[in-house]
């Protein structure tokens, strides 16, 4: 039995050095492999499904999961593999690409707040408001003074959500530059994956070190007790899935979710 996913949790005020974090680390599952991981993930998905039903029935809390990664980092795959079996009626997945003209006419958090989860629901952000301190920083889309201010905005925004009953888990899927190259090459070589390849991914890859610095800064400045970041090793897809599932299960179990008591005595009901 390995260690729990809390080993990847970033404590508030911690200094981040991604170069010293192994994307192939497997301390949560040191003795197993893909075959045992598959069975464990099946059990975890059943547990997640039960917790999601309780979340819906309890109707006191919501859950927001933020997924960030470099291109090919596995955000889509994580959502697909980890949440298989969870009732899709209780889960909303949102992606945040280039803002539309309407979105650009508002503050940068406007489009994000509209997609936060209602009580009883789980929201998954495939990319998120963190693009506004990552992409805009690396590509120089706004002046430094402006994106620097956003760290405080984001902390305040997330604190408001948690104060109002939303449990937040922010996860960076940490892959190596070599693994990204392998996955990009796979997309070019496999005709069934050509559609996934975007030449713009190479532009981001060319700024790898700048992105690592931006991630380190963003995670260090916005990981809090109520809204923590996890840096999950993601070179091994099966391991990534196990760790993310564990993070979500632990977060939901911490809420002490309960089915509401019936307002009538079921024993007195006679169905004919």
CATH number for the domain that contains residue 230:
3.40.50.300
Residue 148: inside a domain, yes or no? yes
Strand-strand pairing, 229-233 and 166-174: parallel
Residue 151: inside a domain, yes or no? yes
Residue 83: inside a domain, yes or no? yes
Distances (CA, A) of 265 to 209, 236, 272: 63, 51, 17
Indicate the pLDDT class of residue 51, thresholds 50, 70 and 90: very high
Q: At what angle do helices 75-82 and 34-58 cross, to 10 degrees?
A: 70
**For residues 129-138, average pLDDT:** 97
Measuring CA to CA, which residue among 222, 55, 250, 197 is closest to residue 133? 222
Residue 88: inside a domain, yes or no? yes
pTM as predicted? 0.94
Contacts of 28 (CB under 8 A, 6+ apart): 2, 3, 4, 5, 7, 239, 242, 243, 246
* pLDDT recorded at residue 261: 87
Residue 44: inside a domain, yes or no? yes
**For residues 252-259, average pLDDT:** 94
Instruction: Give the number of other Cβ atoms within 10 Å of residue 99's Cβ.
Output: 15
Instruction: At 171, give phi and psi (nearest 5°).
Output: -130, 120
Indicate the pLDDT class of residue 108, thresholds 50, 70 and 90: very high
Q: Where in the sequence is the domain holding 61, given as residue range(s)?
A: 5-256
When mean pLDDT is compared across 84-98, 116-130, 165-179, the lowest value belongs to 84-98
Indicate the pLDDT class of residue 198, thresholds 50, 70 and 90: confident
Residue 223: inside a domain, yes or no? yes
Give the chain's domain count: 1
Residue 268: inside a domain, yes or no? no
Indicate the pLDDT class of residue 25, thresholds 50, 70 and 90: very high
Distance CA 166, CA 62 (A): 5
List b or e across 67-86, with b for residues whose CB sees 16 or more CB atoms inside 10 angstroms: bbbbbbbbbeebbebbbeeb
List b or e across 174-204, with b for residues whose CB sees 16 or more CB atoms inside 10 angstroms: bbbeebbeebbeebeeeeeeeebbeeebeeb
Residue 263: inside a domain, yes or no? no
């Amino acid at each position: 039995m390995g260690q729990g996913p809390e080993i990847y949790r970033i404590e508030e005020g911690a200094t981040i050095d991604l170069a010293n974090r192994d994307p192939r680390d497997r301390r949560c599952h040191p003795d197993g492999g893909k075959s045992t991981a598959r069975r464990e993930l099946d059990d975890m998905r059943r547990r997640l499904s039960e917790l999601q039903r309780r979340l819906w029935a309890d109707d006191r809390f919501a859950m927001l999961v933020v997924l960030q990664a470099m291109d090919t980092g596995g955000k889509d795959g994580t959502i697909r593999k980890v949440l298989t079996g969870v009732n899709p009626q209780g889960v909303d997945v949102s992606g945040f690409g280039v803002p539309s003209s309407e979105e650009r006419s508002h503050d940068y958090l406007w489009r994000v707040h509209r997609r936060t989860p209602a009580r009883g629901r789980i929201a998954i952000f495939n990319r998120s408001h963190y693009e506004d301190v990552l992409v805009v920083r690396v590509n120089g889309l706004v002046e430094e003074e402006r994106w620097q201010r956003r760290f405080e905005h984001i902390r305040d925004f997330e604190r408001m959500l948690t104060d109002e009953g939303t449990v937040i888990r922010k996860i960076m899927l940490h892959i190596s530059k070599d693994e990204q190259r392998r996955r990009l090459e796979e997309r070019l070589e496999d005709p069934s994956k050509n559609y996934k390849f975007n030449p713009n991914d190479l532009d981001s890859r060319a700024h790898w070190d700048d992105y690592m610095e931006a991630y380190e800064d963003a995670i260090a400045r916005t990981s809090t007790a109520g809204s923590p970041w996890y840096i999950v090793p993601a070179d091994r897809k099966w391991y990534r899935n196990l760790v993310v599932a564990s993070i979500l299960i632990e977060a939901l179990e911490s809420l002490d979710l309960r089915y509401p008591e019936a307002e009538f005595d079921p024993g007195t009901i006679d169905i004919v």
